[in-house]
Structures are given as structure tokens and as C-alpha cells.
């Protein structure tokens, strides 16, 4: 991979390195949601959620649409869930092996 491509990959991982952004993505996995509903779902403040949604949008992971005064977000790049599944599967396997050591 070129240095530029490696930089893009690192930027994608950096976006996913924040737990609140992962919670937002998890909420949106169920479908499109308003900022208000996302805020309630993740248990944070509206300004904080909006800041993270903007970062996710800039990274191309989510998209938005406005209907009146309400802004709705949805997943724009479904491949993010494949990446999360790989990581979660790896962690599950690792912790399963560790728990067997103590059984």
C-alpha cells in the first residue's frame, strides 16, 4: 500500500476509536434515526452527539437528511459493520480462550 493509502486506513481506524461513535453506529444499524433519538439512545448530550455525527459524516460512514427542523442520520457505508464484526469476533475468541484458562 502507498503511504497515502495507509494514511486513509489509519484515519478510518481513528474515527472508529471513540466509544461514543461506535454507540452511534450501533444505534444507526437499526435504521435511520433523528439526532434526538440517537442522543437518547446513547445517553449523551445533543451537542456532543452532533459533533460525533459530523465526524462520522465527514468520514463517509453516515449521511443525513433534513425534514423541517429534524435531522435524520443513516449508515452510508455498511462495510463498517463487517469491520466491527471481524474485531468483535476476534475479541470474543480471545476472551473465550482466556476464560478457559481459569475454568
Q: What digits encode the pLDDT tens for the residues 25-49?
A: 999 999 999 999 999 999 999 999 9
- Nearest C-alpha neighbor of 55 from the set 5, 16, 95, 2: 16
| pLDDT at position 38 | 98
- Of 5-14, 64-73, 78-87, the range with the highest mean pLDDT is 64-73
Helices (H) and strands (E) in the chain, counts: 5, 3
- Phi, psi angles (nearest 5°) of residue 50: -60, -40
The sign of the dihedral angle between the CA atoms of 91, 96, 97, 102 is positive
Segment 65-77 mean pLDDT: 96
Please tell me which residue, 39 or 85, carries the higher pLDDT value: 39
In this predicted structure, the answer to whether residue 97 has a pLDDT above a threshold of 80 is no
Find out whether 25 and 61 touch, Cβ atoms under 8 Å.
yes
Mean pLDDT rounded to a whole number for the chain = 90
| pLDDT at position 82 | 85
In this predicted structure, the answer to whether residue 56 has a pLDDT above a threshold of 80 is yes
Find out whether 74 and 38 touch, Cβ atoms under 8 Å.
no
Q: By percentage, how much of the chain surpasses pLDDT 70?
A: 93
Domains present along the chain, CATH in parentheses: 3-76 (1.10.10.10)
Amino acid at each position: 500500500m502507498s503511504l497515502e493509502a495507509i494514511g486513509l486506513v489509519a484515519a478510518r481506524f481513528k474515527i472508529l476509536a471513540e466509544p461514543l461513535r461506535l454507540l452511534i453506529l450501533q444505534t444507526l444499524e437499526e435504521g435511520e434515526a433523528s439526532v434526538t433519538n440517537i442522543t437518547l439512545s446513547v445517553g449523551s448530550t445533543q451537542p456532543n452527539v452532533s459533533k460525533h455525527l459530523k465526524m462520522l459524516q465527514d468520514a463517509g460512514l453516515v449521511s443525513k437528511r433534513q425534514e423541517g427542523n429534524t435531522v435524520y442520520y443513516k449508515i452510508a457505508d455498511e462495510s463498517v459493520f463487517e469491520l466491527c464484526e471481524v474485531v468483535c469476533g476476534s475479541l470474543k475468541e480471545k476472551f473465550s480462550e482466556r476464560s478457559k484458562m481459569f475454568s
